Homo-oligomer: A and B are copies of this chain.
Amino acid sequence: MNQLLYSKLSSLFKVESSLTTSIGQIQLDRPVMLASGILGISLDVFNRLYRSGVGAVVTKSLSTEPWEGYPNPTIFSVKGGGWINAVGLSNPGAPNFAKMIEPNQEVPIVISLVGSIPEDFEMMIKQFENCKITAYELNLSCPHVAKVGLEVGDDPELVRKIVTIAKNTTDVPIIAKVGLGTTHYLNTVSTAIDSGIDAITAINTIRAMAIDVETQRPILSNKFGGLSGTPIKPIALRCVYEISSKHDIPIIGCGGVSAWEDAVEFFLAGASAIQIGSAVGDNWIDVFNEINNGILQYMKRKNYSSIKDMVGLAKKS
């Protein structure tokens, strides 16, 4: 239809636009989440982020025991944009963390978990029995720590066992976070879905490195790290599009979102929500409400009442 006419007509029938979204069973007031590993360490900060516009915070990936992570340098700013990090999953361990967030009633918290064997995940989920948890996110995709993350995600049998044990341990929705590893991520997604996963987060950082030409050394203490931020957005977007074209599963897009247009691209590709990590380092926490507002303006312009009105639209063309 003639679009000028259309927009004139539709302005007569304006709907109320709202940022609420649902990722399967998970209901969020806003579709912009904090990605795992970003500032996700203290309940006070979670509260601040919630006031700053996040729909949910995803915690740092927690392990059964506290981890110190790698020595510095753990993060590197890439000349062409983005970051390479090898924080090494430093975290206080699931038991300590559970105690810290027990008082929480207000903030929607997604607990990110890493482990090597299925029982790790069972043990950790049990720690949170007394906490109000929105969902668990299984980190099957950290590209720079041995024996967890991608090394787990690349092993279909292990993925099956982990998802199964997690689903059997709790009724809270379980999300699998996938990334580009040594086996095809779409196989990991299929396995996770077959094992009962509730949603998919795509993607984690991509294995990368940086070398200093003067001192001729890899800069990160771990040599390899994960690339995040604007450089990976076109790759993350195609993953979301590929998953949503192949499966009927709620998806959370992650990777390089730094403006509302990026978020909308992910929705159009099939994501019901998005996560933001690196953009916090560039634009600080104002980035959440800037993006919320941009999405809302867009929805008003296109006359959408909720996020789901636009989920997957780019697949129609």
Q: Which residues of A contact B (CB under 8 A)?
A: 78-82, 84, 180, 182-184, 186, 206-211, 213, 216-218, 223-224, 227, 229-235, 237-238, 241, 256, 258, 261, 264-265, 268-269, 298, 310, 313-314, 316-317
- Copies per complex? 2
Count chain B CB atoms within 10 A of each CB in A79, A213, A268 and give the residue with the most.
A213
B264–A80 CB distance below 8 A: no
Give the docked Cα–Cα distance between A265 and B209 (Å).
10
Count chain B CB atoms within 10 A of each CB in A231, A233, A265 and give the residue with the most.
A231
List, sorted by A's number, 30 A–B pairs whose CB atoms are closer than 8 Å: A78-B233, A78-B234, A80-B81, A80-B82, A80-B229, A80-B230, A80-B258, A81-B230, A82-B234, A182-B183, A182-B186, A206-B235, A207-B235, A208-B234, A208-B235, A208-B237, A209-B237, A210-B234, A210-B237, A211-B237, A211-B269, A213-B265, A216-B268, A216-B310, A216-B314, A218-B241, A218-B317, A223-B241, A231-B231, A231-B234
Return the 7 tightest CB-CB contacts between A and B, nearest first.
Answer: A80-B230, A231-B231, A208-B234, A182-B184, A209-B238, A217-B317, A213-B264
A218–B314 CB distance below 8 A: yes
Count chain B CB atoms within 10 A of each CB in A186, A223, A233, A234 and give the residue with the most.
A234
Give the docked Cα–Cα distance between A216 and B266 (Å).
11
Nearest-Cβ distance from residue A277 to partner chain B, whole angstroms: 14
Residue in B84, B186, B230, B238 whose beta carbon sits within 8 Å of that of A79 in the complex: B230
**A237: which B residues are within 8 A, CB to CB?**
208-211
Nearest-Cβ distance from residue A116 to partner chain B, whole angstroms: 20
Give the docked Cα–Cα distance between A208 and B127 (Å).
39
